[in-house]
């Protein structure tokens, strides 16, 4: 893909819009600094040829990162990037935790709460909605990160 920006402008936007730091720290609960003060839209690492960025938010961290390389070819900045999960474990947890919850709750009602069989229908419907919502929200966060990256760096 190509950026409408020159190489100098692309690097300037990387510098001005990225808080430099390790992506492993950003996705943990130990990094609370974006809550206080002015924050930049992206968080991650970059150099003269490559970048690895995610959204800069402590309240709603995304498990996806934008990894890629950029170079100047005939005065046009070529950007090759991919949006991928930072950790497979986080992605699996976000997508399958509600399904595991449905199984655990049903096993509980099956073995220990025989008098509450009517409650299982309501709880199962709620957990089913949560399972679909978690998958939808995970995909929405991936798309939001990609759209923001494309918008900031004017990629076409």
pLDDT confidence tier of residue 100, bands split at 50, 70 and 90:
confident
The reply to whether 151 falls in a domain is no
The reply to whether 72 falls in a domain is yes
Report the residue count for the chain.
Answer: 156
The reply to whether 26 falls in a domain is yes
Strand ranges in the chain using DSSP code E only, listed in sequence order: 2-3, 18-20, 42-46, 50-55, 64-73, 76-85
Is-above-0.75 flag for pTM? yes
Q: Which helix (H) or strand (E) holds 14?
A: helix 7-17
The residue-averaged pLDDT of 106-115 equals 79
pLDDT for residue 34 is more than 70: no
The reply to whether 9 falls in a domain is yes
The reply to whether 27 falls in a domain is yes
The reply to whether 74 falls in a domain is yes
Q: Give Cβ neighbours of residue 58 (< 8 Å, ≥ 6 apart).
A: 31, 32, 33, 34, 35
pLDDT for residue 26 is more than 60: no
The reply to whether 77 falls in a domain is yes
Domains in the chain, number? 1
The reply to whether 143 falls in a domain is no
From CA 24, how far away is CA 30, in angstroms rounded? 10
Range of the domain at 36: 2-87
């Amino acid at each position: 893909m190509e950026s409408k920006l020159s190489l100098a402008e692309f690097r300037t936007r990387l510098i001005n819009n990225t808080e430099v730091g390790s992506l492993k720290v950003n996705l943990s609960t130990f990094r609370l600094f974006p809550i206080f003060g002015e924050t930049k839209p992206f968080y991650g690492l970059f150099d003269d040829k490559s970048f690895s960025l995610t959204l800069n938010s402590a309240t709603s961290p995304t498990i996806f990162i934008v990894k890629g390389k950029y170079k100047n070819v005939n005065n046009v900045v070529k950007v090759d990037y991919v949006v991928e999960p930072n950790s497979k474990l986080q992605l699996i947890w976000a997508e399958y935790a509600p399904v595991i919850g449905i199984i655990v709750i049903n096993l509980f009602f099956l073995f220990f709460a025989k008098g509450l069989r009517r409650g299982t229908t309501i709880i199962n419907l709620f957990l089913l909605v949560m399972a679909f919502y978690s998958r939808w929200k995970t995909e929405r966060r991936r798309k939001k990160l990609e759209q923001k990256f494309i918008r900031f760096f004017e990629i076409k």
